[in-house]
Chain A
Amino acid sequence: MNRRFPAFACFWLALWLMAAGCSRHELAGVEFVAQWGGEGSAPGKFYEPIGVALDAEGNVYIADAGNNRIQKFAEDGEFLTEWGKPGNGEGEFDRPIHLAVSSADLVYVPEYGNDRVQVFDRNGQFQFAWGQTGANAGEFDAPGAVYIDANGRVLVTDFYNHRIQIFEVQGKFLQEFGSEGHEFGKLYYPTDVAMDGEDILVADAYNHRIQKFDTTGKPLASWGRQGKAASEFEVANAIAVDRQHRIYVVDFDNHRVQAFDAAGKFLLQFGRQGSANGQFNHPTDIAIDAKKGIIYVADWGNHRIQKFRMMKR
C-alpha cells in the first residue's frame, strides 16, 4: 500500500494538472457563427437591440430598446416569445437596457425612462419592481445595467447619478459606491457592471476605461483611455467575464470587442465597422455562454444579434 501510494498520487496530480491546463486554455480568437434580427417590429426583428442576457439553459433574452420590449430566443436564434410595450405600467417599458437573468430564472430589466428595475419570470410574467426617480438610496436616474452575483445580490449602474447601487435579490437597498469624476475610483456615466470573483468591474463609459472595485467600493485597478489603439476605448459601454477570468469589453464607437486578462492586459479584439458577418455598427452589449464557449453581441446599429465561438489555442 505504502509503495503504491506515490504512483497513485502522481496519477491524480497529473490528471489535475491536465484538467487545470485545459480549463485555463488560451483564447486564440473568436469565429462568427450566426446572426439574426434585422430592423423592424415584428417578432424576431429589432429596433436598436441594446442588451443581451442568457439563462441557464442558454436561451437568449434581448432588450429591444427601440421597440420597448423583451424578446426571448433559443440559442440558435429561433424566436420563442416576447413581452412589453411602451408605457410605465407593469410589464411596460421606457427603454429597457442591459438586462440580466438570475440563477432563480428571473429576468431583471432596468429601464432608463422609468427609473426602475422590473423583474419577470422566463416567460415574461411580471413578478415585482423597485425604484423611482431620484438620487437617494434606492432611487435611480437612468439605470442602465443589472448584474446578479453568485450571492444573489443585484448590482445596478445608475447612469446620471454616476454610481453603482447594490440590492438584495428582492430589491432592498444594501449599499452604493461611486460619484461623478475622472479621478481613480470616480465614475463618469457608468453603463455596465459585472463581477470577477469578488471583484466588481465597472464599464466607466465616458471615462473610456474599466475600473475594478472590491465589494466595499474601494477602487483596486483601472485600465483604458480614450482612443482607437489596443486597450483604448471610444465609450467602453459593456463588460462580461468568462470562466477563465478574461474580461470582454464592448468598445462602442470603435465597433469592436476587446478581451483582457484579469489584470487588464490586452489579449485580442474582434469586429470592425460594417454590416457583414462579424462586423459591427455600434455594439452595445455582450453575453457569454461559458459552458459552450459562445459569445453573443448586441449589434445595436445593425439591429441584430451576432453569435461567435471562442477558438482555443
Chain B
Amino acid sequence: MFKGNFINNLPKIYGTYTGGFLAFVILMAVLEKAGVAHQTIGILFVGFTIFIYALIGYLSRTVQVDAYYLAGRQVPTVFNGMATAADWMSGASFVAMAGGIYFKGYGYMAFLVGWTGGYILVAALLAPYLRKFGCYTVPDFIGTRYGGNLVRAAAVLVLFVASLTYVTAQINATGTIAAKALDIDFKLAVWVGLISILLCSMLGGMRAVTWTQVAQYIVLIIAYLLPIFWMSNANDFGWFPHLMLGDQVQRLHELEQTLNIGTADAIINTKAQLATLGDALTKGKVASIGIAHSDSVAGWPNAWKFISLAICMMVGTASLPHIMMRYFTTPSVKSARKSVAWSLFFIFLLYSSAPMLATLSKLQLLDPNLSTSIIGKSHDIVSQLSWVKTWGARDWVALADFNGDGIVQVNEFFMRGDVVVLATPEIAGLPYVITGLVAAGGMAAAMSTADGLILAISNALSHDIYYKIIDPKADVKKRLLVARALLLLIGAFGAFLASKQLTSILGGVAWAFDFAMSGLFFPLVLGIWWKRANREGAIAGILGGLFVGSAYLYYVKFAENAADNVIWGVDNLRFGIFGGLASLILVIVVSLMTKAPDSAIQAMVSEARIPSGKTILGKQH
C-alpha cells in the first residue's frame, strides 16, 4: 500500500488511520440515527479500537533484542512525543482528572502543574544524557554508571514498587471502563482489559508498544477534545473554550454564592445521612460538591499544600522509568531532547482542557438557566433522567432527599468523580456516539499507560536481573522468551491486585510518583551532574530513600491515629518530600565518606555530557 520504508511513511500511515477512525465515528453516528441500540454502539467502539491496537501489535512483532527493548532506536521525534503522551496520560488523567477538579477545585490543579512541569526536569537534567548512555532500561543506566549488581538490583526494586503501584491503578481503570462499555462484571472486565493490553505488547515489546501508543494517543485526544468543543459551542459559551470560559468560571462563582457551595452557610451532611446512600457511598465512592470551583484560601499552609503536591508530582515525573525509557528509542540525543518538548505539547492539549471540561460539566448541572440543570428541580423529574438511571444502577450517581422538600439540593446530589468525563456527554444531551467515543478514549488512555508500565517492569527484570545478573550468557532467543514470560506474569499479577480493588484510581497513581521520587530521582540526576557520586552513595540513596518514604507513608496512612502523625502538612499523597530529601542527603554524605569513583567512570560521565560520538553502551548489550 505504501512505497518506501515504514518510518518515512509514518505521517501517511497515521494520517490514513486518523481519517479511518473519524469515518468510523461517523458510521457509528449513522447507526445511532438508524436506531441501533446504545449498548451495541458502546461495544463496537471499544471492540473495534482494541482490535486495531492488537493488529498493530501483531504487525510489529520482532525477534531482535534492540527492536524489543528500544524499538530499534528509530522512532522519529514527533511520533515519540505522541507515544510518550499516550504512555503518560493514564486512565487517571483521562477519567479521573476532570472529576478531581470538579470536586476539589483550585487545590487539585496542583496535579496539572506537577504533571506538566516535571517534563522540564526530564529534558534539562536527564533524558538527553541517558539517551547518550544508550541503556535499555533505567536500572541499566544506574548499573553502568555506578557499577555493580547490588546498585542495579536496588534500582530495579524501586522501579518495581513504583510501577506496580501505578499499573494496578491502570488495569483497574481499563476494568472500570470495559465493565461499563461492554456491560460485564468488573472482575471479568479486568481480565478482558489485561488481555487487550498484552495483545499490544507481547509480540513486539517496545516496538509494538510505541506504534500502538501513537494510535492510542490519536483516539484519546479526539475523544477528550470533541465533547468539550461541542458543549462550549452548543451552549454559546464561545467557539474556543480555553480562551473563552472565563465568564463561565465567574458564573460558577456567583452560583456557588447563592447555592452556598464552599461558603460558611454550606450544609454539611451528617454521617448518618450519608450512610443511607449504601453501596453508592461505599463501593461507588460518590460525593456531593463541597468545595468552590476557583476560589483559593489565603495563608501559607494552603500555598504549601499546593506547591508540595506539585513538587512531588514533578520530581516523580522525572524519575518514572516508563517515561524515561521512551527517550531511549529516539535516533539521536538531539531528537530525544526535542521529543520531550513535543511530548509536553501533546500532553498540554489534554491537560489544559480538563479544567474546561470540569467547568462545563458543573455548569450543566448547577445553572438553572440551562435545560440540563438538576439542582433546584423536583426529585420526580431528576430521578427519571436517563443518565441518572443508568449511572444510578451502577451506584455511581445517587440522589437523596434529606430535608424532605422533594427538591434536589446541592447536598442531595451525589456522583463519583469519574462520571464527569464518562457521563458529561450524556448529561449535556449530546448523541450517544460521543459517549461511546469517550469510553474508547478512556480505554486507550488506560491501556497505553498500562502497556508502558508492564513493559518497563518486565524489561528491567529480564534485562537487568535475568540477563545482567543471573545468566549473562543467555542467547537472544532465550532472553526474549524470558522477557515475554515476565510480561505475562507481571500483567497477571497486576490484574489480580486490581480485581481486589485495594486503592481508588488516583491514590495509587500519586503514590507511584512519590515512590519514584524517593528512590530514583537523586541517584539518577547526581549520576550525570556530580562525578563524585559513587556506588556506595547510590545504594544508600536508593534504598534509604525508598525506606524513609515507605516508612513515612505507613506512619501517616496506616499506623494508629495516622492523621495525627502528619509533619509539616506532608500527608500520604506527598510522602516523596521526605523520601526524596533522605535520598539526596544519603547520596551526598555516603559518597563523600567513601572513595571517589575511578577515572574510567569519570570519563564515562564526561562522555555522556556531549551529544556527539558513539553511545556508551553498544547497540546490542
A, B co-complexed: no
Point out residues on B near A: beta carbons under 8 Å: none
